[in-house]
Amino acid sequence: MSHLEKSPAPGRLLLDDTSPLTALIEASQNLQSHTEYIIRVQRGVSSDNSWQVIRRYSDFDILNGSLMVCGLSLPLPPKKLIGNMDREFIAERQRGLQAYLDSITQHPLISTSLFVKKFLDPSNYSANYTEIALQQVSMFFRSDPKWEVLEPLKDMGWRIRKKYFLIKNKEQSKERFLLSWVDLGPDKFLSDKDLQSAMKLLTNLSTPYLCPLLFSSTSESSALLIRPFSEKGSLRDQICKVKPRESHLKKYCNPKKSQGLELGQIKLYGRQILEGLRLLHDGGLFFGHLHASNIIVDDDVCRVVDIENGMLGVPSILRPAFTQLRKINTTESIDVFCFGHLLYEMTYGRPPDSVPVDQFPSVPYSSVVSVLQSILSTEACKSGMPTVSALIQTPLFSDVQLKHSEKLQIKVPSRLKEALKEAKGRLEKRLHEEQRLFHQHRRLTRAQSHYGSEEEKKRRKILARKKCRQSTYENEEDVSVRNNNNSGSGASSPPTCPSSPTPPSTTGSHTTPPPPPPPPPAPDSSSCSPPLPPPSSDRAGGGRAALLSSIQTFSKGKLKKADTVDCSTPKF
């Protein structure tokens, strides 16, 4: 396999796992016993960030077996034992495998799974992240032996470089906690010292709508976090009515019993989540990771979890969506955009298929639809997101009575606040650059698509014919002008060779047009002057200018009287 990506800096993999991969089967090659398919894979919109992988049909079959847990029927072409080396069959199978690749790379959850990443990008996803996480956890437990691992929670979340473990405190044996190990991401712009200060701040949080950390430890490349474990699972688990500890692909790819919330729950949960966002924004903290799996509900109180993700630099699951929308260019607008997705899921029991959304399914809550339109519609995505405070003032949320009515705030030290502001600016700058590259690529793609359309091809043919006719007309005109110039300049030229054609005869007022000139004879230096050089390309190209100059400099006095022989008298 040839890989064209630049190698990341050692010690930290600066790779955005949410960046979409596209795969195109470029060719197939028949070997003695099997067929190999050459796949061109590209990350993002830049063709420079691409590589090739070679896969057999058996590799596709293994991948499909791993994805069966999703509960979806994926369009993998069937096996064929006899005649599987025929040229026509291989071409047909290649088309089927391409359709299969398109389906898995365009699915929002399947495309981010480790199975697909390993299949298309083995050089960047060959590491055993569970083993790496266990090593880090073991080192931590040596320094703090009061904790004990009960079981790993495999594939509980969608993030590839984040692993979960169910643990307990030996001093509180009945209570369960959730330990997570996460690799730092490409948007980690805080220094190690400032990151530790920020984690300490989040550990000491005491607010009703933000879930605090019980413990945090960061290194140059990763972080260990401990928080309370919710047996009921996340808000998405409750909406989809699934078991919290199951694989996220099994839980969320094709839920059978998902159902939206009642209006009262939508109003209460939505207001509490907005209060949590306002608290973060007022404190200068950036988030960007709001979705139903990051909400814990306990006794009708919503708490936002993973609020440290923004400072750890890990990419948002919705990054591919808001990278396409240039008006979503601040951390605050990202949170509002994510809230729109969450509100849609709370209302309809599933996230939107795509954004913008202009046709909303029928729902008896008109006040909910109006808020959704202000965030997810085409007009909203073009003009910009409302603020969190503006959403709180909408009729949907303004009349919600909260248990905690006192004014809440997060006290951030001034030095950390400045560091957070700088990191936020760098994060937004990287987003702006990605948005610029995406829109540049989209304009180029549209131009290429328009250039290759049938209508454009017909238009170009018509223009080519017109240009050809115009060019032919101008060439004929130039030839006529050159002939006229040559004829006009011949009257005042020096004596011609004896073999030169005689000038046209004139009788009365009529002039007999001259015949076309024969090819010039070989020059005879003894009997005639050297022939004039052929007209230059400049003169040929400027025929009209030459004609105008000839007319302006014409003098009748320079003409010589021609000797004519009158042959008009009839002979008998």
What is the enclosing helix (H) or strand (E) of 376? helix 366-376
Residues 488, 554: contact at Cβ < 8 Å? yes
Residue 489 confidence (pLDDT): 54
Q: What span, in angstroms and rounded, lies between the C-alpha atoms of 453 and 9?
A: 44
Residue 57 confidence (pLDDT): 93
Distance of CA 508 to the CA centre of its chain: 82
Alpha carbon of 300 to those of 129, 184, 264, 273: distances in Å?
36, 33, 11, 12
Q: What is the DSSP letter of 534?
A: P
Low-confidence ranges of the chain (pLDDT < 50): 1-13, 491-512, 522-533, 535-541
Side-chain half-sphere exposure of 572, counting CA atoms within 13 A: 0
Residues 6+ apart with CB under 8 A from 123: 1, 3, 5, 51
Residue 18 confidence (pLDDT): 83
Peptide bond into 356 cis (omega under 30): yes
Q: What span, in angstroms and rounded, lies between the C-alpha atoms of 572 and 569?
A: 10
Residues 224, 216: contact at Cβ < 8 Å? yes
Residue 542 confidence (pLDDT): 55
Residues 358, 372: contact at Cβ < 8 Å? no
Alpha helices for 67-216 (secondary structure H) = 87-105, 114-120, 129-143, 192-203
Residue 88 confidence (pLDDT): 86
Q: What span, in angstroms and rounded, lies between the C-alpha atoms of 261 and 269?
A: 10
Instruction: Read off the tokens for 309.
Output: 């993700």
Residue 106 confidence (pLDDT): 92
Q: 280: closest CA among 229, 336, 322, 218?
A: 336
Q: 55: closest CA among 6, 101, 99, 102?
A: 101
CB atoms within 10 A of CB 479: 12
Distance of CA 287 to the CA centre of its chain: 22
SS3 53: strand
Q: What span, in angstroms and rounded, lies between the C-alpha atoms of 340 and 390?
A: 13
Pairing state of beta strands 35-43 and 50-56?
antiparallel
Residue 565 confidence (pLDDT): 66
Instruction: Read off the tokens for 501.
Output: 């054609």
Cβ neighbourhood burial of 317 (10 Å; 0-12, 13-18, 19+): buried
Q: What span, in angstroms and rounded, lies between the C-alpha atoms of 314 and 218?
A: 14
Q: How many contiguous H segments (helices) and E segments (strands) does the chain have?
A: 18, 12
Angle between helices 87-105 and 57-66 (to 10 degrees): 30
Residue 552 confidence (pLDDT): 64
**CA angle, residues 328, 334, 339, in degrees to nearest 5:** 125
Alpha carbon of 240 to those of 255, 344, 349, 417, 571: distances in Å?
6, 14, 7, 38, 118
Residues 303, 280: contact at Cβ < 8 Å? no
